[in-house]
Amino acid sequence: MSKLKIAELFYSIQGEGRYMGVPSVFLRTFGCNFTCSGFGMPRGEMSAERDAIAERMVEFRDYNELPLVSTGCDSYASWDPRFKDLSPMLETDAIVDRIMQILPHRRWEDEHLVITGGEPLLGWQRAYPNLLDHPSMHRLKEITFETNGTQPLSPEFKEYLLKWRAQREITFSVSAKLPGSGEQWSEAILPEVVCEYEQVGYTYLKLVVATEQDLADAEQAVLEYRTAGFTGPVYVMPVGGVERVYTLNNRAVAEMAMRKGWRYSDRLQVPLFKNEWGT
């Protein structure tokens, strides 16, 4: 039996990308290869909000008690080692049991599974076949991996997914990290990795933008992905894990999308649920 370290497992409405509005189970794995401390900060500066929260760690007994942040990665507790004790290591059977408990009909109907993070395509790839092959998961028809697009698929997992998709739908929602995230271009924009996802499932780019500089970076990134052979759609999405930041730039980002002929992705979880944990 395989195990996964789970930061969050919850049922909500998918707020972003291709499946916006679809009832979905979110399985948030622990661990990421980035920190994305630049989100919401002036270019070149890094958020210290996470550090301030970590200093108050004794106050928090549960993941859902952690404060939301307006700068940096809004799912910081799903990868920062200082918060790791809030994410239990669970066997896949136990995860499936929890999924069945939170589905409204106690079985898969029209819901969709989102495997997110952190970065869900780190070492956990080896555990997913065990999870997806569980008898209670056989009715599941649609799955999305929300990834930063930097992790190649292992040959074994790629082969598994190619078989899994024979009668089902696999999506890779690739939120590639532009320089506004604080990450290095050479480590974040890896077109060959994303082109490989396209061989396995429906794949799109979902780029977080706030400023004209972000938009210029997005154009350059899209050019590099296209040059490498990527054919999927491009979404732009407003920055903003909290409502006051999101509402500052959602319309401007929608207008950027129209100018470029790209798709606009909302963050429905922000206006609907204030982006609280578990939404």
Nearer to ligand SF4, 177 or 267 (CB): 177
Question: What is the amino acid identity at position 135?
Answer: P
Nearer to ligand SF4, 17 or 117 (CB): 117
Nearer to ligand SF4, 32 or 96 (CB): 32
Query: For residue 164, what are its two tokens?
Result: 């899994």
DSSP 39: T
Q: Report, in Å, the least distance between residue 178 CB and ligand SF4.
A: 11
Query: For residue 4, what are its two tokens?
Result: 């996964």
Please report the sign of the dihedral spanned by the C-alpha atoms of residue 197, residue 202, residue 207, residue 208.
negative
Nearer to ligand SF4, 24 or 78 (CB): 78
Q: Report, in Å, the least distance between residue 167 CB and ligand SF4.
A: 30
Phi, psi torsion values for 13, nearest 5 degrees: -100, 130
Q: Report, in Å, the least distance between residue 104 CB and ligand SF4.
A: 28
Q: Report, in Å, the least distance between residue 100 CB and ligand SF4.
A: 27
Q: Report, in Å, the least distance between residue 46 CB and ligand SF4.
A: 12
* Residue 161: partners with Cβ closer than 8 Å, 6 or more residues away: 153, 170, 200, 201
Nearer to ligand SF4, 145 or 160 (CB): 145
Footprint of ligand SF4 on this chain (CB under 6 A)?
Answer: 32, 34-36, 73, 75, 79, 117-119, 148, 177
CA distance 188 to 184: 6
Question: What is the amino acid identity at position 199?
Answer: Q
CA distance 121 to 108: 23
